[in-house]
Structure 1
């Protein structure tokens, strides 16, 4: 079994090898999530990425290759680089003591539309309705509507990623994100897995993650491509 440190160097790859194997599209040394679930791909050998990505883009208008330090190769006749997002990985060291004052709900399939709409309101561009299949989602409900969530995305037998941490603009500055991240982290620890998360370098939320006990560990870059 691949150890945790090696898995964290290529989290998309190992998620698709283990927990999310049923969601994988595999071809010649490159792995993608099913295009209806999540637009992420991973590789070890960048010389394999051009041909496979040219096929994948026939079903998905855009996609990401996620890599710590490798640069994917593409066929410029079929695919073009939109932008490279300089990201970073954070790993929980020790969870800080956070008072949970809100009623946090494990969201079932009846919330799929609300989750989708809330994510696209706050962070448009990547979340798909079937992303819900990747892990548990927790939410806070106010005024009979879902106003804040924190979900789980990439995961293996050793780690689970906290993701889709969003709050409706009318309900910010109430500590909802902090409580949701803490609750989600505790749920991950209950199943004896390592909580991690990914974000953009310079994200204003990084100090919050650090206060909760997460530490910056490595770069994790997101190469966004779209078809021509």
Structure 2
């Protein structure tokens, strides 16, 4: 299978499955900020003005892939280098937890948990980009995993989150396995992004069968108040 579209996952997600969630400014595509603060581009010489346009809607966002050009007052806050990892076969583990399909009734629980553990990425409509799954204990959502960027052939596994009081119980690997199974049922290939210095998560994903395809940068740009 041709994996080249994974080199530019935002662009191709917004050109394919998520085209209705796209904002395009002169050849640069961004997710509408209420869905996901990510952008991608093809032509380097078009990025500066497009980034300025998008910054009118959101002051803190990411461009994924090659480093974009941008002008003042936009500044580069950080470069987040990630391992892009791909799974080529089903994960075989015991599934002994009750996994809940999260829908609109679970929206607040999902939003609150992800932003508790990974603040800044999960927006009010992020959950509309794909399917999300969770584990509840004593009526509290304690672990989730879901889908974010989607192309015709690939779906990104995202929001792999466990409440700090419930880590170490194997919830993450079971939710990742369940999510990937659902992606394979759609005849798509699961992939994910994990910070290159997050050795614990990388080790977990490798044990589940994910393989690192490449390093990819998430350029965090901000427009100061």
1:93, distance to aligned residue in structure 2 (A): 2.7
- Where does residue 122 of structure 1 map in the other structure? 117
Q: 2:14 aligns with which of 4, 16, 19?
A: 16
The alignment partner of 1:125 has SS state of coil
| Alpha-carbon contact 2:61-2:221 (below 8 Å) kept | yes
| Alpha-carbon contact 1:134-1:153 (below 8 Å) kept | yes
| Alpha-carbon contact 1:4-1:158 (below 8 Å) kept | no
For the pair 1:215 / 2:211, whether they are aligned, the reply is yes
| Alpha-carbon contact 1:95-1:214 (below 8 Å) kept | no
- Where does residue 42 of structure 1 map in the other structure? 40
1:4, distance to aligned residue in structure 2 (A): 3.7
1:85, distance to aligned residue in structure 2 (A): 0.6
- Where does residue 153 of structure 2 map in the other structure? 158
The alignment partner of 2:114 has SS state of helix
- Where does residue 172 of structure 2 map in the other structure? 177
1:106, distance to aligned residue in structure 2 (A): 0.7
| Alpha-carbon contact 2:88-2:189 (below 8 Å) kept | no
- Where does residue 61 of structure 2 map in the other structure? 63
Which digits, 9 at most, give the CA deviation of each residue in 1:49-78, with x for residues without a partner?
A: 1101101111101110000xx2200012x2
- Where does residue 132 of structure 2 map in the other structure? 137
1:207, distance to aligned residue in structure 2 (A): 0.7
TM-score w.r.t. length of structure 2: 0.96
Cα separation, 1, equivalents of 2:44 and 2:100: 41
Aligned length: 223
Structure 2 segments unaligned to the other structure (5+ residues): none
TM-score w.r.t. length of structure 1: 0.95
Q: 1:112 aligns with which of 102, 107, 111?
A: 107
| Alpha-carbon contact 1:113-1:129 (below 8 Å) kept | no
The alignment partner of 1:202 has SS state of coil
1:6, distance to aligned residue in structure 2 (A): 1.8
- Where does residue 225 of structure 1 map in the other structure? 221
Which digits, 9 at most, give the CA deviation of each residue in 1:67-124, with x for residues without a partner?
A: 0xx2200012x21110001112000033331110100111001111111110111111
Cα separation, 1, equivalents of 2:190 and 2:59: 31
| Alpha-carbon contact 2:25-2:53 (below 8 Å) kept | no
